[in-house]
Amino acid sequence: MNCGTENRAGRKFCSECAALLAIACAACGSANQPGEKFCGECAAPLQAEPPVSVHAAVPDSASPTIERRLVSVLFADLVGFTTLSEAQDAEAVRELLSRYFELARDVIDRYGGTLEKFIGDAVMAVWGAPIAREDDAERAVRAALDLVDAVAALGESSGNADLQLRAGVMTGEAAVTLGAVGQGLVAGDLVNTASRLQSVAPPGSVLVGEATHRVASSAIAFEPAGERILKGKGLPVPAWRATRVVAARRGVGRTEQLEGPFVGRHEEFRLLKELFHATERESRARLVSVIGIGGIGKSRLAWEFEKYIDGVVGDVYWHQGRSPAYGEGITFWALGEMVRRRAQIAEGEDAPATRQKLAASLQEWVPDEGERAWLEPRLAALLGIEANAPGQREELFAAWRTFFERISERGPTVLVFEDLHWADSGLLDFIESMLEWSRSRPILIVTLGRPELLERRPSWGAGQRSFLSLHLEPLNDGAMRELLTGLAPGLPGPLVDQILRRAEGVPMYAVETVRMLIDDGKLVREGNAFTLTQPLDRLEVPTTLQSLIAARLDGLPAASRSLLQTASVLGQSFAPAAAAGLLSQEPETLEPRLRDLVRRELLTLEVDPRSPERGQYRFVQALIREVVYRTLSRADRRQLHVAAARYYEGLGDDELAGVLASHYLAAHEAKPEGEEGAALAAQARVALRGAAERARALHSHEQALAYLEQAIAVTPDPAEQADLRERAATAAGDAARYEIAESHLRAAIAWYREHGDRVRAARATAWLGALMFPMARIEEARATLEPALAELSDAETDPELPRLMAELARVHMFQGEPESALGWLERALPLADALQDPDLVVQLLATRGWALHELSRHQEAVAVLYGAVALGDARGELDGNMRSRMNLSSIMTMEMPHAAFAVARDGVEIALRFGLREAWAVWMYANAASAAFQTGDWDWIFETARRLELDAITSAGRFGATLELAVVTAFRGDYAWARNACQELVPLIAERESGQDRAQLHASLAMVELAGARPEEAFTEGMAGNLRLRMNSDQAAASVHAAAWAATWLHDSDRLREALQAYVAIGLPTDLAQNVIRMTEAALAGLDGEPERALPLFVQAAQYWRERDLPFPLGMCLLSQLTVLGPHHPSSATSAEEARQIFERLNSQPLLARLDAITGDAAPEATPLPAQA
């Protein structure tokens, strides 16, 4: 070759200088000589592949430069590929090779390597050039291990189970050519040695040289592979086999505790990695729920995944938090832990320090100053340093999501929630909301939980997009045997068999058995293997995992056992100071025992500098803590829980309210009898109320309900019980658990009445009536509210009174009685104002504006509602703001469509910002789309429908939204979709028994039939929508208006006269409605043969639409004029040209076709009914 050395046939590189000897054909894989232009096997063009790096570009240079650099070189080669290719079709071989090449590129790319070249089925990659990192050798070995695993999976998926890869990695100095094009990046003896080391590696393994072993061994486990004789090397080369990754980069997180090989979960692990990269690639959020019994391997899977994420190139933002095993769960604990980790806030830091670090974190991750100001108090509430969380639950969720979304803008973000079966229901809701609302972000959520999670939340993941559930099944005997032999090489076969029989596939059983034998001195390490110190027949292995753990505890010294029991009361992790406080000792005195428990692998020490628990100790497994806790006597439990409660009280941290309550409750449950039990119950009640208030402040209403029901259970006083039941009813109502709320209220009402407390009975009864409103028991709500409010009439200082009046006013509105509603509102507004409750004032004004509109006091209604919107915006009052915008945009659509569109469009954006897609955004969209149809903002209708994903919405709000979308879709030319969309809603709307919904359905169908050139059907549908509604008659008017257009197109003066009379009878008091009447009278005059009367009316009507910039009604007015006056009327040419410009701007092919038919350019055809209709 270039150096003159002779090489054997089939060699890919020169044995002396590592120059390229052969070029692989990309089409068939055959080897060809350097310099040849076409493949001698298949005639495909040949091109030597230059080095590829997607991570860094070499600086521009006039000519390549050569440097000596420390690099790591990876050589990998498929084993047996030549034989495999001879037995298969050439096209199949090419497909397999292409997949292998793509796979190799991806893996090398992920770990920051530079792909040097492919040679046949071999690959060469380099780390350290052109960009060097301090952990290049470690990355190269990680990539090699990943390649071995990925090729095995490729073989299985392609039907080539024997396909394997072997690899070699060498680290050292080499000559690096920077800026080279079309030539090798790295050359020298190091390259040659790496290639030869790979050639002697067993299939499916990775061999490394001495330097690689030395610098990578902190994070990679190796075993000696002996000295290898390599051709061209004068001395044997020492080699090590890389077995697995055991830590994060540079050894972070490595434990000296016993850790077996990762076995039996490779498919799940591979899937987790693939989902992560898909999340990054597609920028789409995903949720992976890992479910399995205790000890089955959930935490180990997460640890392997964390190590993998840490090793890939690029910034990945990892967050991890767990839910503590206290009672009903601690409100949003795991989420707060993640925020603390990101902000580097240590557990127990005081409020000023926490605020300072939180502000610094927001400064780092959130660029917008206004958004930082919005986020800070809501994150502070999560961390327990803000007493009253601002805004509703949806607003808090939106703020917390936004924090992680801003992080994800820097790079893919991972959130791992451990022990989710202990989480509060609010956290489960938040996770689901994140999957819903952060779906266009590169965020991967991984949850770990036991099957009890599915008992608590059977619907977990149901209907969620991008959700995957991984159920970890017990390991098979082969995997368990591999685990045991890897954990303790040298275990006798009969003992392995005995453990396998009892473990039943649970890996933790196997690990704990080995730990027990080591603890007892029955199993000792001798060199690289373990040896039993007594005959096998004398060994007794406990039959269950719980008894196995208990046996390990029995072997502890008394002081260590006591310390461990104390720690089990504190939770899965604990600070030494907390354990010392419970034992009345100094923390320093516990350190030797804590270190001994770490050595015995019962505890582990948190050393991650990112963790707020750094310096804390943690049970190795949650199951160990549970078994330890169960060994405590009831008296000891009570004593320790009281001590723990007093310790946490002394910290004065609101975030610990749930922890404090759980300890007092557990102390009471340990000894509920006697005076001491009564005293503990009293303390538990106070703590549970505090925990409920914190949960309620964070809008975790289910959690608040759970705390209050626990408080009721430990309250012997009926009067206090009744008060707690009212509070519980409020929490249940806020959580939409209406039946539970009703049950609590009825129990409270009965006690109040029995004891003559008229005012409290009336107030609770009034709340019961208000509760019936969302349960659609309108008549019952009215019958309950009115007498209760009558009894409260002399208690106008009661802060609840105006809220109850507001509910009764809404009942009257839904029953079509705006006068009665207005009366209650006039009474409630001054009371709310006197109470200085602006949020309630906004709610009352929203209903008042609606009532005024129904009483034909239109301008007054608009002014009131604009005021309500302004006050709601200023106060940040979400629910009242949304109701005000809904009512305002609804009543203005028939008078000021542009203003209505602006109000509703902004409402959509606000609702989406706070995650209220189904609650408000879709309803607001329907109003906005109705106005936008008239204003010509049709593209907004389509774009926003895509953002909302209307097809995934299940709430009733999708009815109106779908109907509005159907109309504009029909006028854009897709009649079939539009008609089917309407028809699918017919049975659903019929079930709702809502006249307003039925009128809108008929109006929409009428417009869709018009767009489909089917005026007969349009007239029938339009007149069917002329329902006698007690309120909200706008939809009936719109339906009749469509019928009038249809009659005009039919040239049917009788039916047009019928439609006109019906429209006038509806009696809408707006200028817009009067112009519709004017336009319809013009069409009727034209059909009656009175063009001289028709034309001025048409001109006046068109000018009205023109001045208000409403293109659709203007175009339809001009179209009606052309229809009745004909194309040859002197006014027609100008009208036709203006109409054409409008319809082209709207991109409405059906209206352009109608226009062409009138002007004689084309003949219209009715659109045939779709087959599925």
1013: left (phi over 0), alpha (psi -120 to 50) or beta: left
Q: How far, in whole angstroms, is CA 72 from its chain's centroid?
A: 39
865 close to 887: Cβ distance less than 8 angstroms: yes
CA–CA dist 282, 988 (Å, integer): 36
Give first-to-last CA distance, the chain, whole Å. 76
Tens-digit pLDDT profile for residues 679-712: 888 888 888 998 888 888 887 888 889 999 999 9
Which is nearest to 1021 in space by CA: 1046, 1056, 987?
1046
Q: How far is CA 740 from CA 405, 706, 732, 765, in A?
A: 36, 11, 6, 15
pLDDT reading at 883 higher than 80: yes
Distance, in Å, from the CA atom of 1153 to the CA atom of 1016, rounded to the nearest integer, reads 18
Q: b vs e for 248-268, b when ≥16 Cβ sit within 10 Å of the residue's Cβ?
A: bbeeebbeeeebbbbbbbeeb
Query: Are 1111 and 1131 within 8 A, CB to CB?
Result: no
Quick: pLDDT tens for 997-1055.
Answer: 788 888 999 999 999 999 999 999 999 888 655 445 777 888 899 999 999 999 999 99
Instruction: Measure Cα distances from 564 to 576, 586, 593, 1087, 1167 in Å.
Output: 11, 16, 9, 95, 79
Residue-level pLDDT at 1153: 92
SS3 72: strand
Q: At what angle do helices 266-282 and 136-157 cross, to 10 degrees?
A: 110
192-206, 507-521, 846-860, 900-914: range with lowest mean pLDDT:
507-521
Give CA–CA dist 373/370, Å, rounded: 5
Residue pair 590/566 in contact by the 8 Å Cβ criterion: no
Domain ranges of the chain: 50-251, 266-376+399-471, 477-555
Identify the three-state secondary structure at position 571: coil
Helix (H) or strand (E) holding 24: strand 23-24
**CA pair distance 724, 688, nearest whole angstrom:** 11
Round to whole Å and give the CA distance between 678 and 680. Answer: 5
Tokens of 87: 């037995």
- Give the CA distances from residue 1040 to residues 367, 380, 969, 985, 1052, in Å, rounded to whole numbers and listed in that order: 52, 54, 21, 20, 15
> What is each CA distance from 563 to 456, 512, 623, 907, in whole angstroms?
33, 20, 17, 57
CA 22 from chain centre, in angstroms, equals 50
Region 544-564 average pLDDT: 83
Q: Which residue shows structure tokens 């100008």? A: 1134
pLDDT of the residue at 784: 82
Confidence of residue 62 (pLDDT cuts 50, 70, 90): very low
CB atoms within 10 A of CB 367: 11
The dihedral of CA 850, 854, 860, 862: what is its sign? positive
207 — pLDDT class (breaks 50, 70, 90)? very high
pLDDT band at 602 (very low <50, low <70, confident <90, very high): confident
Per-residue pLDDT, 28:
45
Q: How far apart are CA 482 and CA 749, in angstroms?
A: 65
CATH 3.40.50.300 applies to domain 266-376+399-471? yes
Task: List own/partner pairs for 739-747 with CB under 8 A and 24 or more apart.
Answer: 740/705, 741/771, 742/768, 742/771, 745/771, 747/722
pLDDT winner (highest mean) among 510-524, 673-687, 891-905: 891-905
- Predicted pLDDT of residue 1: 41
Write the DSSP string, 984-1027.
HHHHHHHHHT-HHHHHHHHHHHHHHHHHTT-HHHHHHHHHHT--
Q: What pLDDT is recorded for position 527? A: 77
Residue 328: its pLDDT value, please?
Answer: 55
Summarize the confidence of residues 621-631 as an average pLDDT: 85
Task: Give pLDDT, residue 1116.
Answer: 94
Query: pLDDT above 70 covers what percent of the chain?
Result: 88
pLDDT value of position 32: 57
* Structure confidence at residue 941 as a pLDDT band (50, 70, 90): very high
Count of alpha carbons within 13 angstroms of residue 162, beta-carbon side = 7
Rounded distance between C-alpha atoms, residue 693 and residue 660, angstroms = 13
List CB contacts of 809: < 8 A, sequence separation 6 or more: 821, 822, 824, 825, 828, 844, 847, 851
Q: Of the ranges 159-168, 229-238, 260-269, which one carries the lowest mean pLDDT score?
A: 229-238
Q: Give 1165's pLDDT tier (boundaries 50, 70, 90).
A: low
Grouping H, G, I as helix, E, B as strand and the rest as coil, residue 875 is: helix
Please report the pLDDT score of residue 53 as a whole number.
42
* Of 201, 205, 272, 210, nearest in space to 230 by CA: 201
| Banded model confidence at residue 1120, pLDDT cuts 50, 70, 90 | very high
CA dist., res. 647 & res. 652, Å (int) = 10
pLDDT in tens, 83-99: 777 777 788 888 888 88
Q: Is residue 585 predicted with pLDDT exceeding 80?
A: yes
Distances (CA, A) of 1059 to 342, 711, 1038, 1113: 65, 64, 11, 17
Q: Taking the complete model, does pTM exceed 0.85, yes or no? A: no
Q: How many Cα neighbours within 13 Å face the side chain of 24?
A: 21
Is there a contact between 237 and 193 (Cβ–Cβ < 8 Å)? yes
Radius of gyration, alpha carbons of the chain: 37
* pLDDT-derived band at 1138, boundaries 50, 70, 90: very high
Biggest CA–CA distance in the chain, Å, is 118
Contact assessment for residue 1131 and residue 1125, using Cβ atoms and an 8 Å cutoff: yes
Query: 452-488, pLDDT tens digit by residue?
Result: 888 888 888 876 778 999 999 989 999 999 998 888 8
Q: Which amino acid is at 165?
A: L
Across residues 968-977, what is the average pLDDT?
93
Q: Return d(Cα 215, Cα 221) in angstroms, integer.
A: 12
User: Which is higher by pLDDT, 372 or 25?
Assistant: 372
- Tell me the mean pLDDT in the region 743-757: 90
Check the CA dihedral 1142-1146-1151-1155 and report its sign.
Answer: positive
The pLDDT, as a whole number, for residue 229 is 83
- Determine whether domain 50-251 maps to CATH 3.30.70.1230: yes
Element at 417 (helix H, strand E): strand 413-418
Q: Residues 762-768: what's their mean pLDDT?
A: 81
238 burial (CB, 10 Å; 0-12 / 13-18 / 19+) is middle
* Residue 310 token pair: 């840490």
Amino acid symbol at 1101: A
Of 398-412, 957-971, 1015-1029, least confident by mean pLDDT is 1015-1029
* H/E stretch holding 825: helix 818-834
- Could you tell me which residue, 343 or 799, shows the higher pLDDT? 343
pLDDT band with cut points at 50, 70 and 90 for residue 65: confident
Contact predicate 241/206, CB 8 Å: yes
β-pairing, 286-291 vs 467-471, is: parallel
- One-character DSSP codes across 752-784: HHHTT-HHHHHHHHHHHHHHHTTTT-HHHHHHH
Paired tokens of 386: 């803000």
Find all residues with CB under 8 Å of 896, minimum gap 6, and list them: 1108
- What's the angle, vertex CA 291, arms to CA 397 and CA 480, rounded to 5? 150
User: What's the mean per-residue pLDDT of the chain?
Assistant: 84
Per-residue pLDDT, 858: 85
Q: What is the pLDDT of residues 259-276, one digit of tens each?
A: 788 999 989 999 999 999
pLDDT at 217 over 50: yes
**pLDDT given for residue 535 in this prediction:** 76
Q: Say if residue 1168's pLDDT is above 70.
A: no
Average pLDDT, integer, range 32-61: 49
Reduce the DSSP state of residue 607 to 3 states and report it.
coil
Q: Which two tokens stand for residue 473?
A: 């099944």
Strand partners of residue 877: none
- Amino acid (one-letter) located at 174: A
Span of 638-652, 931-945, 1009-1023, 1098-1112 with lowest mean pLDDT:
638-652
